[in-house]
């Protein structure tokens, strides 16, 4: 609406705040192609009352994690690059799980599943509704139904996730009804998530690949993380996998790669992956873990995390190595190696350090350091003569810094 002021100046009135800035969120959900391809799992719950993990970024630059697995929805502010979590007062009104659409005026729209009124035990039947927030913390439900699948889809029956295609155009990933399609499909919106139309006619992943979570890649592609092997829980080919696509719609499922198998933590099914890249470069995959059928009692669902590897540029270590400018974990040398190899790292300050080695299943096979170490360059010899040939991970933790690298043992 426009109005002329007392001096003939044109005044502009609108419902959006003037000079609002959009949320800077893409760097948190953008990976290099070789990031997020290997993970070391930590089965200790990261927050109480765990369940489905949902991540969003506020216009203040905070990372928020919500956990939908207990009697209520719990919210936490993620601190120190995922090393600590601050509970937020709540419960904060909002749907339990879904996808975020970051509007150009700084607000955030959240699309989520809601049970349909004609739902029955034989038909899951639900639809997508939305919530809106100006700060990413307090939410108000918007009127209307955002998306109602057709007869052939029948329902939304898994965590809704979203990714921006271009400007106002966003894609929604969802899973069709468990009793019918049980596969990942898409819908598309050209108005910032207000209205949606069916996009994919058939499943874009294999049947049994559910819980989709998209991220961008720096090479222009889109990666979809998901739960694979839904119909064979706890088996060697079930767990969290991923597949890359040129357009985020067409995926070569023959290239699906399993990165966090159920067997990496026996007795726990890996569900609902949510991948993020923290400002320090570390990559984390939050997982809603659930007890496997027939396994020993594991208690209620847990929200756990797996830490990924990240590339580190080769640095000139000859430049004052005893007074480094930042923490560095170098690639072991030699690699591949037979029996013994050297792991080197640099600390900025005196720090308590944990240096460990893990196998492909995330089990710790060697604890190399667990001490207070001085600032400067360090070298540790790892003797793997008692281990079998294969791929291993070594991880350095020092304060809020955590980094993992891969090494190959050839006996």
> What is the reported pLDDT for 313?
40
For the sheet containing 74-79, what is the strand order? 52-57, 63-68, 74-79, 84-87
Please name each of the domains of the chain with its CATH number. Answer: 26-308 (2.115.10.20), 328-409 (2.60.40.3080)
| Strand (E) or helix (H) holding 408 | strand 401-409
**C-alpha atoms less than 13 angstroms from C-alpha of 312 in its C-beta half-sphere:** 21
Q: Scanning the structure block, which residue is given the tokens 């990714």?
A: 163
Neighbours of 180 (CB within 10 A): 15
- Alpha helices (runs of H) in 35-85, residue ranges in sequence order: none
Looking only at Cα atoms, what is the longest distance across the chain? Answer: 86
Structure tokens at 154: 């029948």
Beta strands, E only, 180-238: 184-189, 197-198, 210-217, 222-228
| Interacting residues of 257 by C-beta distance below 8 A, sequence separation 6+ | 37, 241, 242, 243
pLDDT string in tens for the chain (411-residue length): 444 444 444 444 444 444 468 899 999 999 999 999 988 888 888 887 777 899 999 988 999 999 876 557 888 999 988 888 998 876 577 888 899 999 999 999 999 988 777 766 666 677 899 999 999 988 999 999 998 876 555 566 667 899 999 999 999 998 876 555 567 889 999 999 999 998 987 888 888 888 999 999 999 999 999 998 876 665 668 899 999 999 999 998 888 999 999 888 777 788 899 999 999 888 999 998 887 766 554 456 788 999 986 444 434 433 334 433 457 788 888 888 888 998 988 887 888 999 999 887 778 899 999 998 888 778 899 999 999 988 888 999 888 788 888 888 988
> What is the reported pLDDT for 35?
92
> What is the reported pLDDT for 101?
97
> What is the reported pLDDT for 196?
94
Q: Scanning the structure block, which residue is given the tokens 């893990």?
A: 358
Structure tokens at 347: 């600390």
| Strand (E) or helix (H) holding 244 | strand 239-245
> What is the reported pLDDT for 327?
73
Residue 300 · residue 370 · CB < 8 Å: no
Residue 98 · residue 111 · CB < 8 Å: yes
Alpha carbon separation from 269 to 6, 122, 156, 211 (Å, rounded) = 67, 24, 21, 13
- Map residue 88 onto helix, strand or coil: coil
> What is the reported pLDDT for 319?
39
CA 272 – CA 220 distance, rounded (Å): 24
CA angle (274, 276, 279) in 5-degree steps: 160
- The 10 Å CB-count burial string (b at 16+, else e) for 21-50 is eebebeebbebeeebbbbbbbebebbbebb
Taking the CA atoms of 373, 375, 379 and 384 in sequence, report the sign of the dihedral they define: positive
> What is the reported pLDDT for 193?
97
> What is the reported pLDDT for 15?
43
The model carries a pTM of 0.71
CA 317 – CA 369 distance, rounded (Å): 22
- Map residue 262 onto helix, strand or coil: helix
- How far, rounded to the nearest angstrom, does the alpha carbon of residue 311 sit from its chain's CA centroid? 18
């Amino acid at each position: 609406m426009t109005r002329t002021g007392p001096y003939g100046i044109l005044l502009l009135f609108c419902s959006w705040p003037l000079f609002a800035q959009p949320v800077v969120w893409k760097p948190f959900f953008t990976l290099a192609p070789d990031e997020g391809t290997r993970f070391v799992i930590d089965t200790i719950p990261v927050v109480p009352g765990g369940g489905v993990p949902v991540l969003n970024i506020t216009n203040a630059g905070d990372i928020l994690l919500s956990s939908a697995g207990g009697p209520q929805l719990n919210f936490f502010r993620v601190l120190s690059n995922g090393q600590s979590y601050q509970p937020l007062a709540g419960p904060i009104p909002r749907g339990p799980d879904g996808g975020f659409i970051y509007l150009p005026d700084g607000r955030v729209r959240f699309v989520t599943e809601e049970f349909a009124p004609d739902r029955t035990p034989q038909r899951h039947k639900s639809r997508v509704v939305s919530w809106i927030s100006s700060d990413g913390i307090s939410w108000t439900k918007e009127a209307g139904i955002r998306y109602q699948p057709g007869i052939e889809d029948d329902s939304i029956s898994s965590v809704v996730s979203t990714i921006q295609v271009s400007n106002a155009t966003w894609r929604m990933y969802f899973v069709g009804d468990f009793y019918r399609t049980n596969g990942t499909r898409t819908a598309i919106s050209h108005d910032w998530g207000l209205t949606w139309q069916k996009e994919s006619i058939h499943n874009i992943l294999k049947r049994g690949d559910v819980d989709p979570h998209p991220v961008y890649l720096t090479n222009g592609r889109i990666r979809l993380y998901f739960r694979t092997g839904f119909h064979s829980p706890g088996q060697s080919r079930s767990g969290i996998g991923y597949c890359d696509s040129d357009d985020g719609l067409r995926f070569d499922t023959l290239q699906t790669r399993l990165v966090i198998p159920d067997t990496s933590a026996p007795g726990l099914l890996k569900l609902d992956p949510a991948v993020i890249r923290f400002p320090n470069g570390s990559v984390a995959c939050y997982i809603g873990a659930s007890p496997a059928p027939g396994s020993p009692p594991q208690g209620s669902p847990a929200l756990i995390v797996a830490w990924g590897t990240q590339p580190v540029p080769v640095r000139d270590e000859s430049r004052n190595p005893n007074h480094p400018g930042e923490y560095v974990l170098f690639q072991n040398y030699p690699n591949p190696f037979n029996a013994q190899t050297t792991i080197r790292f640099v600390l900025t300050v005196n720090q308590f350090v944990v240096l460990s080695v893990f196998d492909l299943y995330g089990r710790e096979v060697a604890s190399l350091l667990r001490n207070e170490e001085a600032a400067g360059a360090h070298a540790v010899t790892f003797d793997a003569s008692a281990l079998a040939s294969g791929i291993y991970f070594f991880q350095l933790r020092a304060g809020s810094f955590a980094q993992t690298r891969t090494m190959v043992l050839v006996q």
